[in-house]
Structure 1
Amino acid sequence: MFVRGSVSKAVRTGVCGRMFSSGPSPLLVSDPDPSFGPATSMNMFSAINDAMKLTLERDKTAVIFGEDVAFGGVFRCTMGLRDSFGAHRVFNTPLSEQGIAGFAIGLAAMGVTALAEIQFADYIFPAFDQIVNEAAKYRYRSGGMFDVGGLVFRTPSSAVGHGGHYHSQSPEAYFAHTPGLKVVTPRSAIEAKGLLLASIATRDPIIFLEPKILYRASVEQVPTGYYTIPLGKAQVVKTGSDVTVVGWGSQMHVLNRAVKMAEEKEGISCELIDLRTIMPWDRETVLNSVKKTGRLVVAHEAPVTNGFGSEIAAAMQEHAFLHLEAPVVRVCGYDTPFPLSHERFYVPDVLRCYEGISKAVHY
């Protein structure tokens, strides 16, 4: 376990610099949609907090629970919510992920909007059976008579710079393999609030992965009101003509730097896509881009074997084979336990992603 506050301190003191670049550069940020109304400065953790606050205000059945959430949680995402809404709606649970998941499923089956926090994504595996064998199949096994709509598992995921093999994993592919679950991960504060509100509003169980290194990494003008970003719809962050580059979560900031490096050094025009939703993923947007560029690079922190990049590569080989000018390039973590002492070499950085882009273009 981390000492409380150590993660945010590490982010402030340069972990982001080691992961995202070798020099100073702003992270990839978004402009708020004017139609969403007035906006104010928020970072990702405060945007997530705001989304949950709005949910508690609008939905009187909504409850938030997990390990240490009553005082704000390790990353402070639930800070102030118990004081505002009471201990009967925001409360701590025993240190049992299986118990948290089972309790959440039971509440959701009774019509409650259950927002369960798993303290780190690495801790979700004791609850794996509950999530993939119960939550994911609840509607199907009852012939549609019952469901666990309104069930969201929030959990901090991905590398933070010093987490090692129990605090840095990216488990999205495990859950994307399970029919009945939706898997979502944001790259920024605006995206986090809109995607979380959309996840809460949908009537399917959701795994909402929050890249922990981004909680305090940047500030955006986030709309203060209620808004949603559609699930299952990728975003073309930057248009280009030579190669399609796909990522999600914190890897988007790495890819943004790599794309700029490729353009500056070699004049390569990159189309950058944020998948946003891992399952269901937006095959159409990626396919249309690959048909245009003829090349694809996918990057993620999870190990390369059976990482979700494999599914994207296979789908493009199946549906865009005659358009491809080069093999699909995957830039990923390695097939080893996540190494504490070599974390900066394990996580795909700007240079590795740039080399992947160059490899695809010059094949």
Structure 2
Amino acid sequence: MPAMNMIQALNHALDVMLARDPDVLIFGEDTGYFGGVFRVTDGLQAKHGLKRCFDAPISEGGIIATAIGMGAYGLRPVAEIQFADYILPAFDQLVSEAARLRYRSAGEFWAPITVRSPYGGGIFGGQTHSQSPEAIFAHITGLKTVIPSNPYDAKGLLIAAIEDDDPVVFLEPKRLYNGPFDGRHDQALKTWAGDPRAEVPEEHYTVPLGKAAIEREGADATVLAYGTMVHVAAAGIAESGVDAELIDLRSIVPLDIETIVASVRKTGRCVILHEASRFGGFGGELAALVQERCFYHLKSPIERVAGWDTPYPHAFEWDYFPGPARLAKALARCMER
């Protein structure tokens, strides 16, 4: 199997699906000839033609609305929003149309669309290119929200999203596209020693939506994370010396609550890690679900480690990110109580 980074794995997933299913097509801002600002769609237009991979105007609402119409017609469009920050002009289309179409039409129509978008910080993109809005989408009944943490999962999850009959928001962590930055820039991951590439099968395969992965088994605490924070968590656990179990959620909707509950009941402690702001973040929902199902198994209060409750602070980007040291301190507090 070839070794791929996340960009290559995502590109390969799209290539496989374009070749496999004539109803799949890709479009968005700069996704055609240029191959996307992060090169995820590089070469796909040349290989599959202008009708299968093409550019769209700078109109996020128009992009999503067009995808919904295509999906209702029977196609499986993959729409790229250049940055997750830009998706808000299309939010009404996602909420009022895509998420509700199957229900409001009594199953007569549905929207098998995949909305891909880079999200999170780490490229010095500033306030309008760096946000983590996953909790907003998780709140909308009818949308699925998927966030990979490694190349193998990225390809399998994207194929599963494209083949799913419901609308999927597929968020791609920019810090992991080419692997974590080196220690000169990415202080949060300077202790991460892994290879940003992974062996990825060339053929078609899927990773099921709604199934978490246990990245590290442990007995003393459970750490819940997704996307870039899976790697931050791994570094933080190593720094803490705590025998913690690390769970990569992979998708936050649908959520693999069974795996989470089994882990927390085993360890008796839970730390939740995400890059988005703490207040109103998805970690609050995770904490509530764990509290409801594991109250009598908990040995200490649930801890949340997250970004600041502030607009994205471009000048202090690397201080804003939850890092291994903050996670290690949270694990220490759990063990002391």
Normalising by the smaller structure, the TM-score range is over 0.9
Aligned runs of 1:183-262 on 2, under 5 Å?
183-217=145-179, 218-262=196-240
Measure how far apart 1:239 and its partner are: 0.6
Aligned runs of 1:258-277 on 2, under 5 Å?
258-263=236-241, 268-277=242-251
Q: Which residue of 1 aligns with 2:128?
A: 166
Measure how far apart 1:341 and its partner are: 0.6
Please say if residues 195 and 229 of structure 1, whose CA atoms lie closer than 8 Å, have aligned partners that are also in contact: yes
- Which 4+ stretches in 1 moved above 3 angstroms? none
Please say if residues 161 and 343 of structure 1, whose CA atoms lie closer than 8 Å, have aligned partners that are also in contact: no
Aligned runs of 1:34-49 on 2, under 5 Å?
39-49=1-11
Measure how far apart 1:162 and its partner are: 1.1
Aligned with 1:72 (options 9, 27, 35): 35
Is 2:312 aligned against 1:338? yes
Please say if residues 297 and 331 of structure 1, whose CA atoms lie closer than 8 Å, have aligned partners that are also in contact: yes
Please say if residues 244 and 290 of structure 1, whose CA atoms lie closer than 8 Å, have aligned partners that are also in contact: yes
Q: Which residue of 2 aligns with 1:315?
A: 289
- C-alpha distance in 2, partners of 1:215/1:332? 21
2:22 partner SS: coil
Q: Which amino acid aligns with 2:225?
A: G
Please say if residues 120 and 156 of structure 1, whose CA atoms lie closer than 8 Å, have aligned partners that are also in contact: yes
Q: Which amino acid aligns with 2:206?
A: T
1:236 partner SS: strand
Aligned runs of 1:71-90 on 2, under 5 Å?
71-90=34-53
Aligned with 1:180 (options 126, 138, 142): 142
Measure how far apart 1:157 and its partner are: 0.4
Measure how far apart 1:163 and its partner are: 1.9
Is 2:300 aligned against 1:326? yes
Measure how far apart 1:262 and its partner are: 1.4
Measure how far apart 1:220 and its partner are: 1.2
Q: Which residue of 2 aligns with 1:18?
A: none
Q: Which residue of 2 aligns with 1:120?
A: 83
Please say if residues 40 and 223 of structure 1, whose CA atoms lie closer than 8 Å, have aligned partners that are also in contact: yes
Aligned with 1:358 (options 328, 332, 336): 332
Measure how far apart 1:161 and its partner are: 4.1
- C-alpha distance in 2, partners of 1:73/1:356? 39
Q: Which amino acid aligns with 2:4?
A: M
Please say if residues 122 and 317 of structure 2, whose CA atoms lie closer than 8 Å, have aligned partners that are also in contact: no
Is 2:111 aligned against 1:137? no
1:115 partner SS: strand
Q: Which residue of 2 aligns with 1:52?
A: 14
Give the TM-score taking structure 2 as reference length. Answer: 0.94
Is 2:245 aligned against 1:282? no
- C-alpha distance in 1, partners of 2:247/2:279? 22
- C-alpha distance in 2, partners of 1:112/1:342? 43
Please say if residues 161 and 344 of structure 1, whose CA atoms lie closer than 8 Å, have aligned partners that are also in contact: no
Please say if residues 123 and 174 of structure 2, whose CA atoms lie closer than 8 Å, have aligned partners that are also in contact: no
- C-alpha distance in 2, partners of 1:134/1:327? 40
Please say if residues 198 and 230 of structure 1, whose CA atoms lie closer than 8 Å, have aligned partners that are also in contact: yes
Aligned with 2:111 (options 140, 143, 148): 148
Q: Which residue of 2 aligns with 1:61?
A: 23
Query: Gaps spanning 5+ residues in structure 1: where?
Result: 1-38
1:165 partner SS: coil
- C-alpha distance in 1, partners of 2:172/2:154? 8
Q: Which amino acid aligns with 1:172?
A: E
Measure how far apart 1:329 and its partner are: 0.2
| Bigger relative contact order (CA 8 A; separation at least 6) | 1
Deviations 1:283-316 (A, max 9, x none): 1111110001110000001111111110110011
